Structure formats: structure tokens, C-alpha cells
Structure 1
């Protein structure tokens, strides 16, 4: 170890001691206490305890919930985390008192490399920058008029999707669901951003880079002990190299589009066009780096959540042919056996909606929402919530709560037709029974577009093919945890043509 690293370590220990003493005084002197939680070690809090358990964080959270109740605190290094798990408290924080908990906590140094100082809808603090970026996104992508104008993109991508899976089944005898769905949804979102149909090879290249970005920005030790960041210079160097690859990949698309627009050859306005002249308060005009960050955010967030949901839905249709046939019958009753399923058709399909909602309930894309932060010192559930603390909403528990759902572990779409799912609001506005897209001020702005992509893709695939397990290799529903909660072993299935495939 170099002398410089040793000096850094001793300096870190000294400042951590000071910080721990300061934190202890604040806790002893505070009139309103933080929520209860497991006792921690000096300097590192509960961080080492969690690491030594060698279990995924969600299993630790479930155990702590049983012991400490619906709201509790963990001290993860220098990061104070308040974990909220109950339906009532989630609704109170995000909806009833939305502005109070609408901000984001500080980003790690590595995340700041990719967000260009938090110039992104997901990571921006609650304020004028966030409002400007979100308003522009909604106007350019989510309004009914814009969704209809962009239907040609989905038509092109869906047609190519159906032909591709048919060819793959012919060549291999089966198809891998996740890779095909990711490719299709990623191609839709790239085209929505840049207005360009690009090659499959290039789409896969973009997808691969953005997946690497999500992996490298996942929580790491310096996130919890930022004072150790100088010791992780190798990781920071890797992050900067990956950022350069990301820019090299996407900046040409941005500049080509800008040239196209400046020549007046632009029949349709795409999302990236609106960013060229956008000037958020205090930042001036956005540059290529900020535009890369904003477009990457749209592509990454929309691809993983939608593709994961389609894969989980098809898993249950493969395992339960009765549900699959009931869905197929509804589709045929609506469009016949030979007509193509259109976007307006899926809005009429009650059972399709039930299958998708039950998939999102049973397999929420994330077990936690993105971290929230109080904009100032406040309280929740009778406990103090300091400004800047990481407020983590463990929403997966809500979808399993026996007080809210009967037979919660069972996949039963009928519950959304005539059971305990009737009238459930997936946005959480009227109450929290499931919030796959978040709730309140920071709800995913593209949740309705995501639902359209999921419903249309699933309806097209079930209408065209009967989905069956691969003989001798039944699907494995074991979960693993990446950016979203995915199948540990990607779903492979046999398809048998039964209607229009085009």
C-alpha cells in the first residue's frame, strides 16, 4: 500500500470519529427521535453487519420490519437511511405530503459522472431544474397527441419483433423472451428519442453500454462512506472511461439529428429536438453531455422495467395454460383471429389489463423506489426525518401484505376483475396497494407509455403464438436482483403459430 493511501486511511478514521461523535450528540439532543433500528458499530453503523450477513438487502429488510415495525432507521456508514414499509405511511409521505418528500439525496461521485451534476429527471433535486426537465419530457413524449403521432415507431418495432421471434424459433426450436423484448422496447425508445431507425447491431451496442452504466452506478462502498472515495480511484477511472464510451456512442445520433433539424428536413418533432433549445434555470443551454444523460435515462428506465414485466407475464402464461387461453379468447373476441392487434384495441381488453396488473403486483420491477429525501427537517409516523436523509420506500412488502391481498403469493389475474384488485390505483393517488411506478411528485412520468408497450407487446405475442415450456426444461421462477428484479434463468419457450403473425 502506498504512503498516500495510508495517509488517506488515517485521515478518514480521524474524520469519521469526529462525525460519529457529532451524530451521537445530535441524536441525544433531539426532541423527536429518528425511527428505531438495529444498533450499529462505531463509525460504520450497520454497514459491516449487512455485508457480513451475505444475504440480499431485501431479506435483511424483511427481518428488520418484523422486529422494528413499519418504519425504522439504518445507519449505513455516513448514510442515514429511513426505511418505510407500510401502505399508510408510503401514501402519507408520497401523496398526502408529496412536496415534503419529493427531493433526492446527494449522489455518489460515480453517479455524478453520468448525471452531469444531477441533470436528470430521476436524480434532480426537487426544484426548478427538475420541473423544467419533467415538464419538457411529458410535453414531448407522453401527451395523447404525441403518443398517437409516434404510433408508427411501435408499428415498425412490433412487426420486426414478431418476424424475429418467428425466425429464432425456427432456427433454435425455442426463443429467449427477455433478450427479444429488451431489443424491441429499446429500439422503440431510441427511435422516440432520436427519430431514427437504426440497425439491430447498433441498438444492441447502445443497450450494452447503458446496461454497464446501470451496473457501475449501483451502490458501492464509497457511496456509504464517501470519505473513502480517494481509495477507489480505479473505479472512478473506469467510470470516466465508460462515460466516454457512452458519449462516443450517442453524441453522433444527437448531432445527426441536430443537422437534420437545422436543414428543415424534419417532418416530425422528436424528444431530442426539444432539448436543443431548452435552457433550465441556472444552467444555460443544454450541451451534448446533458442531452446524452437525459436520453439515456429514458432508454434505460423504459427498457428494463417493460421487458422484465413482459417476461414475468409470459412465465405465468407458460406455467398456466388456462390463463393463457382465457387471454387469447379475449384478444380474438376483440380483433378476430387474423386482424392485427392495434394500440386502441388493448384499451378495451379487461383481462389483458388484469394479467399485466397482476404481473406488476406479483413481480414489481423494483422492490424499492428510487431514494427520496425530505426537503427540510420533518416527521413521519411520529418520528423525526432529517433533511437529506435517505428515505427508502420498500414497496414490495405492500404487494405481499395479507391485510391488503388475499393469497398474495398466488398469481391470479381474476382478482383485478372481480376480487380484491378491483379499482386499485397503480399510481397510488387514491391509496397504496401497489405502486410499480412510484407515486406522488416523483412518480415515473412515462408510466402510461410503459403500460402501452407492455400491453401491446403481450397481446401481439399471445395473439400470434401459443406459448409452451421447453420439454425437459421447465421455466425456473427464481428471482435475482439486477437493475430490476429479473428471472435468474431467462425464460425460454416454444411457440406454435395460431393466428396473424405479421
Structure 2
């Protein structure tokens, strides 16, 4: 019996040694994955990450220094390949876009909110994704649709409303209701860590309860002409949700239902934080704010109406927006990508379906790409290292606020327009000053999105 026990122990040790050598240690093993930290049996690097008690992005930064610009990790049964080099990111997303255009299997958490991956962001690369994306582009961001919805965009900006919520449902929605929608969607976007199933179910229920009444009201308006409180103001076909009512993207699963409508609208109207970050820097640096104000006055006057074509001609405004994207990317990682087939990147094998994570925030901090990357300097986009930078990464990856390639955010152009209009109107109408004895707080909250931990506080004076 003792000999048997000893044999079992020896075999177990041999197994553990082989596991350590060939499975968790990705570099040099038979899989030819990129190098990475040795992991534990079964759980890989998962427990090690938890025990470090720091946010994942700081762990990634440390691993990048040790293993180079592309490395692998084993998180339980999930293999992650993390790419941090601008040239490799450009190769994968732009030069070989179709190969890396799919999505890996979702976690149970995300499957709840993506309704089984039937959304633009989460759908695997294929017919379903193409149908959903084509419908969005046709119904929301074509020049004809943008022009048609100009009046509701003007109303929303003047009343400080979330424009995309109004465009989605073709409705004038109360400020209180919009704040409720934004709050719930922010909670959904911040889900990155394991949560109790009861919490997730409750959050999904709140999301449905918040948006389904709007969907039902719009459907009654579209199909029966009902509009009891005159909330629905866009004509038939002018709201994004109208196109979803008649869409049947997946013949095997039939038409979309209310849960799919909620998910598809939510991914469009999730609140962006760019305007708040930009205003924080304008409050911190009055010279930048004054320079922007003078450009606005020169273009439209002190009290002139700022139109969409006006902001497109404001070079310094564009520089402020670009520098905000660079200094405060909305996320440190792009949404997870996956290769549609076994391939290679940077000399290492990328198996089909593994999680390929592009750590794009590092690019905006890289001193080899940007001079004084920690400084907020809009002028760099007029004369300096930012001149000619393409935010889509088509020519060269120096910043990727919207992703790149096949899975780039389809509404990025519309989003930039809304940000420019909002900033221009806010600076034209008011002078923004810091609150006395209340230092400005640039602390970030790290989750899927990067948001300001404490809301911006400022003294606002009419011009």
C-alpha cells in the first residue's frame, strides 16, 4: 500500500511538472503560443490574478514589461492572448481584419445581456452580424438620416439630453427618464467581475422595465398611430427602433423580440464620458477654454446658432476632442476579438476562438509614439506628433477610441459630431471655472468603461 501511495504521489508530481511546462507556460510549448506567466493546474493564472488584489490593467502593464508586446494567459479554461503593440494591432485589425473579426464565446454574464449574442457588438462574424450592422448603418448614420434627425439633435443638445436615446426611439423623453436610462446602462457596462446571479437578474429586469415601455409606445405609434401623450415626435421610419420591428436577421430563430430590441438599443445609447473629461480639462486650463471660445466666436459669433457644418470647420475644437480621446480613452481594451481560423500574429500561433484582447490604452501613453503623453495638449494635433492622426487607425494605429477594422463602432462619426456640438454650445454659452476650495478630481474608475470617479463640479457663468 505504501508503495502504491508513493507511486501515486510520484505520478502526480510528474503530471504537475508536465502541466507546468506545457500547458500554463505558453512560450516554448508545443502550441507555440506567445510567452506568458506560468499558471496553476486547472485554474491557470486565475487565482494568481485574484491574489494580486489590483486592477487587471496594472497587471497587464507589468506582464508587458516582462513578456513583451504580445503574451498569453490561461484564465481557467479560457485562453487569452493580449496584444499591446500598435503595429501588431494594426496588422490584426486592419491589414488582416476579416481573420480577427469574430467574437469568442461569451461568459454566462454577458449572454444574459446580449440575448445569446444577437447584438451588433457581440455577434460572431457572419451573416447575423452583417445584417444587424447594415441595418444600423442604413437607419441611423447615412447622410439622409443624419439630416432628417437634425431637429431632434438640436432639441436634445439645447435641453442637455442624451441625443442617442431620442434618436433611438424618435421621442422627446423627460430629463428624469433619460437619467434613469443612463444610470441603468452605466451599471450594465460596468459588469466586469463575477456578480451574484440575483444581482444580474435584477439589473437585467430593471433594464427591461426601463426600455420596454418606450419600445411598446413606439410600436403602437408605428402600427396603430397611437400617441396619447405626444411623446413620439419623429415621423414613421425615422427612429432606429422602427427598423428593428421589421427586421428578421436570423431565419432559423425568427424575428427579433423585446429582449433583442432592448439589447440592440442599449448598445447604441450607452452614455459616453468624453464630454465630461473634455470639460474637466477646459476648467483646469482656462487658456485652452479661451482659445476654443475665440474660435467659436470667430466662426458663428457670440450668439450665433452653431450648426453641424460649423463644428466641422473648427480645427481647434477637433483638436480638443481628439486630445480627450487620446488622454481619456473610453476603455483600456477593445471588446474581445477572436480569429475565425487558426492563424499567427507576431510569430506566435493564435488558435481559432481564443480571446484576443487588444490593450489599446497603452498606445496613447507610449512615449515612443507621443511626446509628454501625460499632458493634455490639443495643439499637438495642429502642429506636432498628432498631425494627421486617423482615429479609425486605417493608416496607422496611434489611438483607437472606436476600435478599428471590421468591428469598428459603426456610429463613430455620429458620436464625434454630437461631442463637438455639445462642447461648442456649452463653451459658447458659459464660462466654466473651478470651484473654490474644491480641487478638480481626475481619479478614474476602472471597469469595462473608464469613467470619472467623482462627477465634475464647476462654476458656470453666462458669457
Q: Distance between the aligned counterparts of 1:334 and 1:451, measured in 2?
A: 19
Aligned to 2:336: 371
Aligned to 2:256: 286
Aligned to 1:246: 207
**Is residue 273 from structure 1 mapped to residue 262 from structure 2 by the alignment?**
no
TM-superposed CA distance for 1:244, in Å, is 2.7
Aligned to 2:192: 218
**Is residue 392 from structure 1 mapped to residue 357 from structure 2 by the alignment?**
yes
The alignment partner of 2:392 has SS state of coil
Aligned to 1:227: none
Q: Distance between the aligned counterparts of 1:256 and 1:354, measured in 2?
A: 41
TM-superposed CA distance for 1:247, in Å, is 2.1
Question: What does 1:299-318 align with in structure 2 at a 5 Å threshold?
Answer: 299-300=269-270, 303=271, 305=272, 308-318=273-283
TM-score (norm 2): 0.90
Rate the CA distance shift 1:449–1:430 in 2: closer, same or farther, 3 A: same
Q: Which runs of 4+ in 1 moved over 4 A?
A: 20-23, 25-32
Aligned to 2:69: 70
Rate the CA distance shift 1:126–1:404 in 2: closer, same or farther, 3 A: same
TM-score (norm 1): 0.83
Rate the CA distance shift 1:253–1:192 in 2: closer, same or farther, 3 A: same
Q: Distance between the aligned counterparts of 1:417 and 1:326, measured in 2?
A: 13
Q: Which has the higher contact order (CA 8 A, sep 6+)?
A: 1
> 167, 176, 186: which one pairs with 1:201?
176
Task: Tell me, yes or no, if the aligned pair for 2:83 and 2:89 is still in contact at 8 Å.
Answer: yes
TM-superposed CA distance for 1:22, in Å, is 13
Residue by residue over 1:298-331, the C-alpha shift from the partner in whole angstroms, topping out at 9 and shown as x without a partner, is: 112xx1x2xx111111111111111111111100
The alignment partner of 1:414 has SS state of helix
Residues paired across the two proteins, number: 437
RMSD: 2.1
Aligned to 1:260: 221
Residue by residue over 1:341-388, the C-alpha shift from the partner in whole angstroms, topping out at 9 and shown as x without a partner, is: 222210000000001001111111111111111111111000011111
> 359, 368, 375: which one pairs with 1:410?
375
Q: Distance between the aligned counterparts of 1:71 and 1:61, measured in 2?
A: 11
Q: Distance between the aligned counterparts of 1:418 and 1:28, measured in 2?
A: 42
TM-superposed CA distance for 1:284, in Å, is 1.6
Q: Which runs of 5+ in 1 are unaligned?
A: 1-16, 162-183, 221-231
The alignment partner of 1:66 has SS state of helix
Residue by residue over 1:90-135, the C-alpha shift from the partner in whole angstroms, topping out at 9 and shown as x without a partner, is: 0000000001110111111121112111111000000110000000
Aligned to 1:341: 306
Q: Distance between the aligned counterparts of 1:426 and 1:378, measured in 2?
A: 27
Rate the CA distance shift 1:23–1:445 in 2: closer, same or farther, 3 A: farther
> 285, 297, 303: which one pairs with 2:267?
297
Aligned to 2:10: none
- Specify which structure has the higher proportion of helix: 1
TM-superposed CA distance for 1:30, in Å, is 6.6
Q: Distance between the aligned counterparts of 1:30 and 1:456, measured in 2?
A: 53
TM-superposed CA distance for 1:481, in Å, is 1.2
Task: Tell me, yes or no, if the aligned pair for 2:24 and 2:39 is still in contact at 8 Å.
Answer: no
TM-superposed CA distance for 1:457, in Å, is 0.5
